[in-house]
Amino acid sequence: MKHIQKDSQVQLALRVFCVLALTFHQRIMLSWVSGPINL
């Protein structure tokens, strides 16, 4: 039971990390693309 719960927690953490990395990457790309235009 504990092992299964631990695995699910690891999967959840990986999923959250992937989502955060994707949104962070999108923000960097957006700021990099819109940066020169704003300046």
pLDDT score of 39:
52
pTM: 0.55
Give CA–CA dist 20/12, Å, rounded: 12
Backbone angles phi, psi at 12, to 5 degrees: -65, -45
4-17 burial: b if 16+ Cβ within 10 Å, else e: eeeeeeeeeeeeee
Mean pLDDT by 10 residues, the chain (39 residues): 81 95 89 69
Helix, strand, or coil (residue 33):
helix
pLDDT score of 36:
67
pLDDT score of 31:
83
pLDDT score of 37:
61
